[in-house]
Structure 1
Amino acid sequence: MTLDPAALDAADPLADHRDRFVGADSDLVYLDGNSLGRPLRATVERMGRFVTDEWGGRLIRGWDERWFELPLMLGDRLAAAVLGAAAGQTAIGDSTTVLLYKLVRAAVTAHPGRTEIVIDRDNFPTDRYVVEGVARECGLTVRWLDVEPAGGLTPEALAGVVGEQTALVLVSHVAYRSGWLADAAGITRVAHDAGAWVLLDLCHSSGAVPVELDAWQVDLAVGCTYKYLNGGPGAPGFGYVARRHLEAEAFHQPVWGWMGSADPFAMGQGYSPAAGIRRLISGTPPVVGMLALEDMVDLLAEVGIDAVRQKSVALTSYVIDLVDRDLPQVALASPREPGGRGGHVTIDHPAMRGVTTALWRRDVLPDFRNPDGLRLGLSPLTTSFAEVAAGVAAIATELAALEQVRP
């Protein structure tokens, strides 16, 4: 693979899509697209039309005309474009944390008599905190799994801890720090052999890595929409519940609200859940927060998730090649094998906290992850190879400057 960024950008079949995003033509080197994606230019127009036409023009009629069904309609479109899921199993709404709580509680409720939730210690803090909170609330035990810092949960490691007391296994499809890409199908088989459900966190994979929720037989999934799905700060999350659990009425989420009831406008006494995935919804859905996501789902459906993944692999491979050549003093803290990692790469060095601060001052924006990690998040449709090369060069410069001032 050539290391010439200009040649790589010229050969990139997705390069032209970069111009469709706000700010992509600036001099800013943005290597944190897996924390917050750039907005699409189309979203600027959509939001203006929404304020004047739908909100300002239709007012409350908008609920009957589009908004009431939007969480389910957009959920189906997202499922088809990037989740590998048939219609009727995905809903948009709530924060990722709230959806995690709903799904974890629903999973343990569906397994009465089972007392354990399995999760790895390197999972994202919210996932761990929600599991700890539900365990305390329900009198359950958390079974912690230790994983390698540059790796993640494997089916083999899971097989050693699941058993007849396991109600749920919660795993991130792509590890937030290392970028480890989990074998979701294999993990699900191990959990199912023990009679447990799997909840897959897709925050760092949806929109960058192909997902096949139905084919993998995953029970539950959750994800955010502001990273590779470019939904904007505070954009709502999404939740998936396998059809078999909805049809068997084995899924019962704990936050009862009027829009998830069987007849919301009856305003009746007593809660009766709606049929299907609508029962995951609680209160009024964040209509404004879904607008940007609509545009990104359109683009992903146009481009295709497989093409996005090819670009993602090329970008992360390029980062590793540059690091090997130009940053011999750092340690790679992500899988070297392309098939084993998601859309970001983490490199470790004791000075990375200071390096990150210095980079931000010069408009080079990666992310820092404790204790020593600098994380390069490469959003495939917005990141150029030239941007990556400039970022790695800036890291080399700042590391050299810090090393020179050491006593």
Structure 2
Amino acid sequence: MSFTLVKHFRPFKSLLISNKDADILTKLCIHCTAVHRQPDDKPLSGKYDKQGNLIGPPQALKSMPTENMISRAMISYLERKRKTEKRMEDLAAEYDLGRRHLANIMSLDEDELTPARVREAIAYLLPSGLHNKNARPLMEHPSFYIPHLKGEEFDMTGRPHHYLYYTLKPNYFELMHTLAVKHESMKRSVSQKEEREHVIQEQKRVIWIDYEKFKDLFPTERLNEHHHKRFVALLQRMYDHPLASRNQQFFDKYLKGGSSLSATPRKPREAPLYQDKDGRDYSLAKGTRKTARASVKLISQGHGHVNINGKDITYFDEVVHRKAILAPLQLCECIDKFDIEVRLAPAGPSADAGAIRLAIARTLLAFITPEMRQKLRFAGFLTRDPRVKERKKPGQEKARKKFTWKRR
């Protein structure tokens, strides 16, 4: 079967391909290159020059039906596929011949010579003291060391099959997108009122698949350790979520050794308990917000007294700041059961209130139940606020504000 490739305003020589590839070519199309198919017993239609190039007016392409068009990318793919298959066949034949000779040398039956036995035989016949195992003699099937060839990635219109084809790593980014969607779904579920009141079990520490196994998941894509770190970081963030048990089967695919959510539990971080001279229990914790630093002592069997650098709650002039530092106690319904002593390195009223609130919430962990801990966590009282004032930029009046522009 012969094919004549013609491009608009540029002639090509005829290309001879097999009947197997001809069936594939006739099913694919794109606007750039035309394909004329004719039987072998009929001469090729058209006019040719002395070099064998097809000549004629470029308007001939306009009347050509769409089903007779094919992309240059597919032609290149078929050429690479043909070369790779030919190379694989030659190397596989050499491997089978060497395997038979090795079986005769080791006095073994050819069927008994498995890949593991082949490695043992090579290590016995060709001993090597090289520390790097990759530099030692090797006898493997060509599929072990020849890169896997990607399949056809275009449809009949010349468009890629995968919607992330132009990222060059479509399978990897598809998995990362799936993880992100699952994580956002869990976060939206937690924001609902009924999920906040739901008792969640403590999360566990696990070990994810290593870099080598991670690369095996995407044999046709070039990935480095940075991609593996991003993948593990997103998985761990999802795994630490209170609703991670909903996706237990999904996590099991990427856990090392088939671990599950029933692994060694992670102990919750909580402040230790002490006793003062009066026999009352108390806990200590620190909190930060911007440049403010607060050290809080929460004493049980109290009456709701507050001491901030020698002053009571009137240390703050604004009511919103007073409510902020008492919010964790109000959420746990124990505002009149503890006494609070605070040593504060002040920065500003808002930063001071945020630092004290964080420290009070951390000290409460030593006294409250796991259900109350979940309420504090969902309310955001156990999370440090990382926001700080943005620095001034050179050439600007402030961090974002620009100088007034004057024409003259």
Q: Name the TM tier (shorter chain).
A: under 0.3
Higher relative contact order (CA 8 A, sep 6+): 1
Larger Rg: 2
Q: Normalising by structure 1, report the TM-score.
A: 0.22
